[in-house]
Amino acid sequence: MELELEMPMEGGGEQGRWEEERLKTASLIFGAKKEREKGLKAEREKYQLILEEDEMINFVSSDKSPCDNEQYSAALSQAEVQKQSIQEVRRSLPVFPYREDLLLAIQQHQILVIEGETGSGKTTQIPQFLMESGYNDGGMKIGCTQPRRVAAMSVAARVAQEVGVKLGNEVGYSIRFEDCTSERTVLKYMTDGMLLREFLTEPDLASYSVVIIDEAHERTLHTDILFGLIKDIARFRPDLKVLVASATLDTERFSCFFDDAPVFRIPGRRFPVDIFYTKAPEADYLEACVVSVLQIHVTQPPGDCLVFLTGQEEIETCCELLQERCRRLGSKISELLVLPIYANLPSDMQAKIFSPTPPGSRKVVVATNIAETSLTIDGIIYVIDPGFCKQKSYNARTGMESLIVTPCSRASANQRAGRAGRVAAGKCFRLYTAWAFKHEMEESTVPEIQRTNLGNVVLLLKSLGINDLIHFDFMDPPPHETLVLALEQLYALGALNHLGELTKVTYCSEEVLTIAAMLSVNNSIFYRPKDKVVHADNARQNFVVPGGDHMVLLNVYTQWLESGYSTQWCYENFIQFRSMKRARDVREQLEGLMDRIEVEVCSSGGDIVPIRKAVTAGYFYHTARLSKGGYKTVKHQQTVYVHPNSSLFEEQPRWLIYHELVFTTKEFMRQVIEIDSSWLLEVAPHYYKNKELEDSSSKKMPRKQGKAKEELG
Ligand code: CDP
Ligand code: MG
């Protein structure tokens, strides 16, 4: 089926062509081995002259060729292309020559899979082609989903500019808590989660003529559910066009899932990228990133650099370390612009990564894997890849979900490397060994649906009237036991009765709402700038109240509310205003939902026991008991520790419930609350046996007992 649409392509397959081109360039420019060695020696000398204080990292090339100045000059003039008119840029994108073929294929087939290299114009151009050929006639909409908020916003802004309209008019976006669309909007970019929500109010998506499921290869939970739902509605809506767009990964699977839908391949344009590995594993990859950036900066020709890290904290630390080193080196080195990018970064800061680098300086973008395929930053020549990402992982046996830093897949590593070859030949420095790449990394990333707690999915599908979850058409069905466990948990929690209705009465819903909202903004409440650590920690200490971290979060929110949701108050107390604002949005939304299902919002009036009991009722399977040197989870005897940031870090109460586990240097519990073990029997008698909760460890409580004795004596 696919052959009739496949576009001509030289060489044997994408990978083959990449290799081939790379070798060709290599032998063309860097033929002489001696020349190259001379070059490397000069690099080393230059480096040591400037950065004598640092150990240099030894990279080994996977083959022959570093790229040179000549190539970069070509790159720079490519970057100059930026000065072209916006229409010229559009015409220069790889998708452009295929406009007519693509439109014809869309006309002929209801469902089409579109595959193309990142940056080829899938997201920004294809919806415009559709608009230009009238798919929005009669007020119909074209929807395009993105797994990431940042991508939905930035792409919509870009397209509005290309179309020449104000963002939010004909072209808009919709993400949770932010609807930037209007009556006039015909092209709507949105997160995959938002389109799922639209199914609640419009189960057949009647207002859409085309739905584009973009970045399908990411296989997020929401995208995977959309696949099943959209495949279903496409059957009774023959007028609906469905496009599944993906980077060059796994497109056969999509085609197969959608009843052998044809694949339209947009041939990529990619320059050779040389891959370097470290000789030995790096003990501290963050430090190794910093050294590598400086190494590139002083030894390599101009060209911007992209570093992949796993999350906000790491990114901030890396940026600070880089800035600090640059300050110390002063005028010994040319200017280095250090720019972070992650989902929670304020949008004006996000926009900065797209602005052109001033001549004579170099830009370093330190990113999460958001820059892997969702965002294209022009001018990147060097990529530094430590080989890690943060991943949700779920163990159905223990019922535990944790966010852990894990080695990324080879497919991810190759996408990352590809970012260096968009405008010219580039280099990718992998901070791991060639052996690790081959033997320690998985081939591809496991879809999110297979490593997540399905509680929310079950609730969502139930609310869409889909009751038979076991037979839902998943592209990769979640493990049977995970699904059964989710149903059991929801039933045990009283969230599902046999009819699937929500039933929940507490006497402290007011406080629990706030806590749930605060927990949802995920550890970004407290601001701790490196140069004001002491002040920040003092400010944080001032919020501590008995009970645990959940109570601290409640306290922060309450005080903020009393300040009239003041920005100044946040600033003075080292609280992130953006996060608080988000918590407020989440809270309002939850309150609205409670209103709809007629659950009363009431307060416990200062009594903290019902609040802690409510948390226990919701998270009873996250219980840990103090044991020698740390904690042990009750059901599975896994050793875990209180996170140093916790208000209970010093106190170490005997029984805890944790919100989540994160693995960094150890398995840490983040956001913990102190409980009484007897509550567990009260709220989850079906789960706990009396015997499991006996305090056999009462002898081993030296700290508290000692203190009590002193007070007595
Ligand atoms: O979706 P795909 O990765 O195929 O490409 P795209 O997102 O449509 O991007 C095509 C081109 O648009 C990129 O190469 C960028 O030059 C430009 N672009 C931009 O300048 N600013 C954005 N926010 C998004 C895209
Ligand atoms: Mg895209």
Q: How far apart are CA 450 and CA 395, in angstroms?
A: 10
pLDDT, tens digit, for every residue of 499-513?
A: 655 555 577 889 999
Please give the structure tokens belonging to residue 268.
Answer: 């990529």
Q: Find the helix or strand (DSSP H, E) in which 541 lies.
A: helix 533-541
Site to probe by mutation for ligand 1, drawn from 91, 126, 158 as the one with most ligand atoms within 8 Å of Cβ, is 158
Please give the structure tokens belonging to residue 603.
Answer: 């307060």
- C-alpha distance from residue 259 to each of 1, 102, 105, 237, 618 (Å): 11, 20, 16, 16, 41
Cβ-contact 17, 9 below 8 angstroms: yes
Please give the structure tokens belonging to residue 91.
Answer: 């015409």
What does residue 397 show for φ and ψ, rounded to 5 degrees? -65, -45
**Is the CB of 261 inside a 6 Å radius of any atom of ligand 1?**
no
Instruction: Tokens 């792409």: give the residue.
Output: 155
pLDDT, tens digit, for every residue of 284-316?
A: 999 999 999 999 998 899 999 999 999 988 999
The closest ligand to the CA of 84 turns out to be 1
If pLDDT is split at 50, 70 and 90, which confidence band does 709 have?
A: very low
Half-sphere exposure in the Cβ direction for 72 (13 Å, CA): 17
Cβ-contact 472, 478 below 8 angstroms: no
Q: What does the chain come to in residues?
A: 713
Please give the structure tokens belonging to residue 438.
Answer: 């081959």
**Is the CB of 154 inside a 6 Å radius of any atom of ligand 1?**
yes
- Integer distance in angstroms from the first to the last C-alpha of the chain? 86
Q: How far apart are CA 289 and CA 297, in angstroms?
A: 12
* pTM confidence score: 0.70
Q: How far apart are CA 556 and CA 210, in angstroms?
A: 45
The closest ligand to the CA of 356 turns out to be 1
**Is the CB of 158 inside a 6 Å radius of any atom of ligand 1?**
yes
Nearest atom in ligand 1 to 116's CA: 4
Q: Is residue 353 predicted with pLDDT exceeding 50? A: yes
Q: Assign residue 247 a region: left if phi > 0, alpha if psi is -120 to 50, beta otherwise?
A: beta
Distance 458 CA to ligand 1 centre (A): 35
pLDDT, tens digit, for every residue of 438-458?
A: 999 998 888 998 888 788 788
pLDDT, tens digit, for every residue of 153-162?
A: 989 999 999 9
pLDDT, tens digit, for every residue of 403-431?
A: 788 999 999 999 999 999 888 899 999 99
Nearest CA to ligand 1 atom 8: 121
**Is the CB of 374 inside a 6 Å radius of any atom of ligand 1?**
no
Distance 152 CA to ligand 2 centre (A): 10
**Is the CB of 120 inside a 6 Å radius of any atom of ligand 1?**
yes
Instruction: Tokens 């996060």: give the residue.
Output: 579
Long-range CB pairs of 411-416, under 8 A, 24+ apart, other chains included: 411/249, 411/443, 411/444, 411/445, 412/369, 412/372, 412/445, 413/385, 413/387, 413/437, 413/441, 415/118, 415/247, 415/249, 415/372, 415/373, 416/308, 416/369, 416/372, 416/383, 416/385
Look over the chain and give the mean of its residue pLDDT values, rounded to a whole number. 83
**pLDDT value, residue 536:** 93
Please give the structure tokens belonging to residue 540.
Answer: 């944080």
Distance 143 CA to ligand 1 centre (A): 17
pLDDT, tens digit, for every residue of 334-347?
A: 999 999 998 878 77
Cβ-contact 381, 305 below 8 angstroms: yes
Nearest atom in ligand 1 to 154's CA: 23
**Is the CB of 121 inside a 6 Å radius of any atom of ligand 1?**
yes
Pick 703 or 544 by higher pLDDT. 544
Distance 195 CA to ligand 1 centre (A): 22
pLDDT, tens digit, for every residue of 360-408?
A: 999 999 999 888 888 888 889 999 999 999 888 776 666 666 778 899 9
Cβ-contact 204, 229 below 8 angstroms: no
